[in-house]
Structure 1
Amino acid sequence: MTPLQQRTVRELVLHIRQERYPAGHHLKASFLAEQLGVSRSPVNAALAHLAELGVLEHDRNRGFFLRCPADELDSALVALVGGSEDPLYQRIVDLRLARQLPDKVLESDLMRLLDTSRANLGRVLSRIQEEGWIERRAGQGWEFLSLIDSRQAYEESYYYRLALEPAALLSPDFRADPAELAECLRQQEFIAESGYLSMTPFELFEANSHFHETLALWSHNRFIHQSLVRLDQLRRLVEYRQAARRAPRREQALEHIAILQCIAGGELVEAAALMRRHLNQALRAKREFRLEP
């Protein structure tokens, strides 16, 4: 499978579990493509792959159906998330987090170091560029951008979020979408009830990002939303690794629920205060945790 198809498989299983679909649920490619933000082609490939694994049942005339309830997909999801990443991409991630790659690199040097072809390397570098942690230099070669991969970088990112996210809730144009609010609340309640025990680091990080980015979107301030999305892109690589070493945090979901309940009741000043407290607590937890690439 291509890297895009592999990512679509992971995101599709995550979507199924978040929506808590029952056994027999009909999975429509057009709807899933819209939900996942991709074309129908990788969705169709992902559905076919899940059918081969026995997760879905395929009827030629009617389409794809879930074989078992979404809550029973834990073991399948762990296998998919843990084993389907592009090896070349993963090698670059590991070398970069271990600080074994310089900030500025030439494609020829990377090809020798990674023992790969220019075509394969170009494909992976294009993906990394889309994710926002490398850019092509005006003259020659590539330059890696900063990642949130140290204690100092973590603290800087949280001080930035402390200035940004409470302000988003107090924006004069802040308006919560009722359907999105209900979906966010349902997702966080699922995590707090039992989901935190079985969800993978990938799922937990994406659910957390979805919560914070949705609230930023409701501010109707494009700069706040774009800044937070960019920050999450920088956090993703190292957060997956750190989350795998930490005990799951039910408290985080409970704090999210309290903020959402304030928003639902129109208590935005209280929601902003809770958000500030929530981020301060997360900052303290980061200080106590030893960061290991």
Structure 2
Amino acid sequence: MSDTPLVTQLAGQIVDYIRAEKAAPGTQLVERRLAEHFRVSRSPVRRALTLLEKSGQIGVNARRGGYEVLAEALAVPAVPQAAASDEDETAYLKVAEDRLQGRLPDKVTDSKLARDYGLSGAQLRRVLARIANEGWIERLPGHGWAFLPMLTSMQSYQDSYRFRLTIEPAAILEPGFVLNRPALAACREQQQQLVEGGIWDITNAALFDLNSHLHETIIECSRNIFFIESLKRIDRLRRLMEYKQALDRKYAIVRSREHVVLVDLLLADRREEASAFMRKHLTSVSIEKMIERAR
């Protein structure tokens, strides 16, 4: 069974935490403490640790059991590079485009997808696992797949930004707001790498993931489950449109600089300024996105 978006995101947050804490190789990773730190149950932590062990970023502690930090997890988090133009990526982007353009029905079968896109069974499983983890398709009981709703119209896209303008600045001012400093510091490092040149090599999909992860990390600090879940749902709905209609990179690098400033304000505990800056940032992005969409 493929991992859920929660598990894959949590795995990344655990690596960010290890790096921010500068944990030495061999440091024991305690499941209970991680669950308390990230305010989740132990089940997703356990699955996230299993995922990290499979990817070689943490190891099994032969003497004490459980998992321990490996040197591979301590490197500075790198900005993802442009994906190779392989068959999986091509098929994934073709499915996304066909879905956005209404060329795919709401429900599809494995056999039809494999036939229409010329994919082997293994390729199809990889592509569908990626799409399912991103949250825009789900397996039907017994047979086939169902695509989930997405933002496709100009009005719904614009409404999503107006909604974000309402909740994201407000979330920063929530009375229960508590900074997750390690996670925010890791996000800042990633955004700084974009500013320093990574913005020109990263794919639209990877750029969306980095930026949405930063905004979700900030809103998670509010500890308001309604704000948190609302933003994550919006991000799932707008994912494909963002892939297709990403910001011009000359604008995107400006937004990455703004992300760095925003995180710095939060880390300095200047929340009133951070909230106002978030509103200004989202307003600018929404205007630029509407201009791009209108072209």
TM-score range, shorter chain: 0.5 to 0.7
| Partner of residue 232, structure 2 | 229
Aligned to 1:270: 273
2 CA distance for matches of 1:261 and 1:106?
47
Match of 1:185 among 184, 188, 193: 188
Identity level (%): 36
Match of 2:285 among 282, 286, 290: 282
Runs of at least 5 residues in structure 1 that lack an aligned partner in the other structure: 20-26, 48-62
Q: Could you list the per-position Cα deviations for residues 194-242 of structure 1 after superposition, in whole angstroms to 9, with x for gaps in the alignment? A: 3334434344222211210110111112222222223223333332332
Contact kept, 8 Å, 2:88 with 2:123, in 1: the verdict is no
Q: Does structure 1 retain, via aligned residues, the 8 Å contact 2:83–2:89?
A: no
1:284/1:271 Cα in 2 relative to 1: closer, same or farther (>3 Å)? Answer: same
User: How many angstroms apart in 1 are the aligned matches of 2:196 and 2:174?
Assistant: 31
Amino acid paired to 1:153? S
Please say if 1:249 is aligned against 2:240.
no
Deviation of residue 248 (structure 1)? 5.3
> Does 2:165 correspond to 1:165?
no
Change (3 A) 1:249 1:119: closer
Higher relative contact order (CA 8 A, sep 6+): 2
Cα distance change of structure 1 residues 159 and 44 upon mapping to structure 2, 3 Å threshold? same
In structure 2, what residue type is equivalent to 1:96? R
How far off its partner does 1:119 sit? 9.2
User: Structure 2: which 5+ residue stretches go unaligned?
Assistant: 20-24, 35-44, 57-69
How many residue pairs get aligned? The number is 258
Q: What is the RMSD of the two structures over their aligned residues, measured on CA atoms?
A: 4.7
Cα distance per residue 1:43-90 (max 9 Å; x no partner): 68867xxxxxxxxxxxxxxx998xxx989x99xx65644426355544
Indicate the residue corresponding to 1:23 in structure 2.
none
Partner of residue 148, structure 1: 151
Residues 81, 242 of structure 1: alpha-carbon distance in 2 compared, 3 angstrom cutoff: farther
Per the TM alignment, residue 288 of structure 1 is displaced from its structure 2 partner at its CA by 0.7
Structure 2 length-normalised TM: 0.64
